Amino acid sequence: MSVSADGLASWNQAVERAEHGESVPIIAHGEHVADVVPSGELDRLRETIEVLSDSDLVRTLEESLADLHAGRTVSSDQVAADLRARSAADE
């Protein structure tokens, strides 16, 4: 389904579909000009853009994935013990 920019009934349908998690294209003068998207999806897209715009974070993620694939991992118990040790050192 696409929505014509001038059809009120279509707008109501577009909003209803967005409430159910669907994205709906908006057509004006025969061209795709916009989309009605669920607000949660828009939030996720903004977060993705923010993460991908942070080159240091992307580099850290890439290094972390390389460590994972190379088997350089630690258990959750090791992480918890490290956090406890750091907390005790701060006291």
Query: Cα(first)–Cα(last) distance of the chain, in Å?
Result: 60
pTM of the model: 0.51
Report DSSP state, residue 73.
-
- pLDDT tier at 72 (50, 70, 90 boundaries)? very high
pLDDT of 30 reads 84
d(CA 66, CA 71): 9
- Structural domain boundaries in the chain: 3-38, 54-90
Q: Residue 7 pLDDT more than 70?
A: no
